[in-house]
Amino acid sequence: MRMTLEEYKKRFPGRPDPPPPEYAGQWVAWNREQSRILAHGYEFAEVRAQARAAGCERPIMQKVISVPFIGAA
Amino acid sequence: MNFPYRMYIVSSSDTGELVPMLRPEINVRIYGPAGDADALALVDTGSDKSIFPMSFASDVGITTTPGTGLGALTFGGHGMPLEYADVELEIPEFDPPLRWRTRLYFADISEETEQAILGHNGFLDYFTATFDGEECSLELVPNSDLPLVELTPQ
């Protein structure tokens, strides 16, 4: 489905925001509500540890993709 | 239970400009001897197996066994060696949380494409999955094949 970010937010209020595209290729660690990014970087373990050190015991990790995905390579 | 698709801002294949893209991802928790970790994983009907980056296994202390078979073939014909382990996976958003034991595969995936994939083995085999493109959401209903792990009351 093609829609702009503004259309998405209007149509589906309350859904999590996309991760910032400037973090492409990195892991981001969200708080449990997925409303705030606590840490970001290229190493999964390091980013998760930073988020836990910031007070979130179980951050939700997300890999920020930068291009459409069509299968692992 | 319904899981809203996740939005990303990606580079358009057509023009290179930044455009929104929606994909069916859910939060899953993987358990290991050294703890557990939550991550968004792509629900992928095109993947025969559920495959996680090796970094997940390392972080929660899962010991993997190198497969002696041919591994997996990816789109484009690239071979990918796989390691495996029997682990517990959970979807914490269900009430009560759904936790099951299954075989997962792990791969040293390149940094750019390092992400968790929930394919048929280990995941989709255990659910009726309805992908609703209009509502941009995925409905998952567990079936009787799901090898549930009994949760200890805390």
| Encoded tokens for A28 | 């981001």
The model's pLDDT over A43-68, given as tens digits with 9 standing for 90+, comes to: 999 999 999 999 999 999 999 988 77
CATH number at residue B63: 2.40.70.10
Q: A-contacting residues of B 96-135, CB under 8 Å?
A: 107, 109-117, 133-134
Whether B153 and chain A come into contact, CB under 8 Å, resolves to no
Nearest to B22 among A1, A63, A72 (CB): A1
Domain membership flag for residue B149: no
Instruction: Report the number of distinct structural domains present in chain B.
Output: 1
Enclosing domain of residue B110:
24-142
pLDDT band (50, 70, 90) for residue B153: low
- Residues paired with B116 in a beta bridge: B41
pLDDT at residue B16 is higher than 90 = no
DSSP class of residue A23 equals G
Go through chain B and tell me how many residues it has.
154
- Is the separation of the CB atoms in B25 and B6 below 8 Å? yes
Q: pLDDT at residue B29 above 90? A: yes
Q: What pLDDT is recorded for position A73?
A: 43
ipTM of the complex in this document: 0.91
What's the predicted TM-score (pTM) here? 0.92
CA angle (B147 as vertex; B28, B97 as ends), nearest 5: 40
Three-class DSSP labels, B100-124:
EEEEEEEECCCHHHCCEEECCECCH
Interface size A-B, in CB pairs within 8 Å, comes to 110
Half-sphere exposure of A19 (CA within 13 A, CB side): 24
- Write out pLDDT tens, residues B54-78: 999 999 999 999 988 877 777 777 7
The verdict on residue B60 lying in a domain is yes
Written as one letter, the residue type at B143 is: N
With a cut of 70, say whether residue B111 has pLDDT above it: no
Under an 8 A CB cutoff, do B80 and A18 touch? no
Q: Which of residues 29-58 of B touch A (CB under 8 A)?
A: 29, 36-40, 42, 46-47, 51, 53, 55-56, 58
Tokens 């296994």 appear where?
Answer: B57
